[in-house]
């Protein structure tokens, strides 16, 4: 998880530097996830798979990579045969999104990760590492559930708890930390709304994150698994050790 975030932070830094060379209008276009761009990438993926005997144009990732970050699209395999160039919103073109695939076994579908979330997590991780080097442990605050905590942000120099903007609802989502000091986005706000809105057949023990993926261009990146409790409300799905 942390290795992946460091890679994304470097990538995002390059985006910021290259962004200085773009006119403001182009920069704005590179931050809007246009449906036609996503559809064009999906069409290219479908063509590639049909002509390659079922293979997918994805970059190799470690087996431990979180599921929603596990299958990033390799645009070098698509361009120029299947599309002229990566869409402007892709980080390969100076955009802020990583294009990924979900449901690769049954129906490979193009989705997005907002890399600004990775940058926020990276900023917090740097402060956290400095604190741990000085104190030997993270500034845990409250226990949310087994092995998942909130942080005492005062001790990290924050005036307000850092948040990330949800790509699903626009809500400001909090960050949480596990026993290994890995940082994750807390999507319970979004999941609670999705559970209220949608009819579903999820039961306790099922991973419910796909509720967010079904009707969105995005995936819940940098997240832990979630399930529902006895009241049908979202909770972290952490195994008891």
User: Is residue 7 pLDDT above 80, yes or no?
Assistant: no
Q: pLDDT at position 28, please?
A: 56
pLDDT grade, residue 240 (50/70/90)? low
Question: 134 is written with which tokens?
Answer: 């000085």
Give pLDDT tens digits for 52-68: 999 999 999 999 999 99
Q: pLDDT at position 146, please?
A: 86
Give pLDDT tens digits for 35-53: 999 999 999 999 999 999 9
Classify strands 148-151 and 140-145 as parallel, antiparallel or unpaired. Answer: antiparallel
Q: Where are the chain's structural domains?
A: 2-115, 117-236
pTM of structure:
0.86
Question: Which residue from 172, 182, 183, 187 is spatially nearest to 218, judged by alpha carbons?
Answer: 187
Q: pLDDT at position 24, please?
A: 54
Rg (CA), the chain: 19
pLDDT grade, residue 22 (50/70/90)? very low
Question: 230 is written with which tokens?
Answer: 């006895």
Give pLDDT tens digits for 150-169: 999 999 999 999 999 999 99
User: Is residue 15 pLDDT above 80, yes or no?
Assistant: no
Query: What distance in Å separates the CA atoms of residue 59 and residue 76, rounded to the nearest whole number?
Result: 10
Alpha helices in 1-53 (DSSP H): 2-19, 24-29, 35-51
Q: pLDDT at position 69, please?
A: 97
């Amino acid at each position: 998880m942390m290795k992946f975030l460091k890679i994304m932070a470097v990538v995002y830094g390059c985006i910021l530097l290259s962004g200085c060379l773009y006119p403001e209008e182009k920069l704005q276009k590179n931050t809007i996830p246009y449906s036609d761009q996503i559809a064009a990438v999906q069409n290219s993926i479908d063509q590639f798979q049909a002509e390659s005997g079922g293979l997918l144009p994805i970059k190799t990732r470690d087996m431990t990579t979180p599921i929603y970050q596990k299958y990033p699209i390799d645009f070098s395999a698509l361009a120029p045969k299947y599309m002229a160039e990566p869409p402007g919103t892709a980080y390969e073109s100076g955009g802020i999104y990583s294009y990924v695939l979900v449901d690769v076994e049954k129906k490979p579908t193009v989705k997005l990760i907002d890399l600004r979330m990775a940058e926020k997590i990276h900023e917090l991780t740097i402060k956290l590492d400095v604190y741990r080097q000085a104190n030997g442990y993270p500034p845990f605050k409250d226990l949310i559930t087994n092995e998942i905590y909130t942080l005492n942000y005062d001790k990290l120099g924050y005036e307000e708890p850092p948040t990330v903007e949800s790509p699903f609802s626009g809500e400001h989502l909090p960050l949480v930390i596990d026993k290994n000091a890995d940082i994750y986005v807390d999507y319970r706000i979004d999941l609670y709304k999705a559970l209220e809105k949608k009819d579903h057949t999820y039961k306790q023990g099922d991973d419910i994150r796909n509720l967010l993926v079904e009707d969105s261009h995005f995936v819940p990146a940098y997240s832990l698994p979630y399930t529902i409790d006895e009241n049908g409300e979202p909770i972290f799905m952490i195994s008891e050790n």
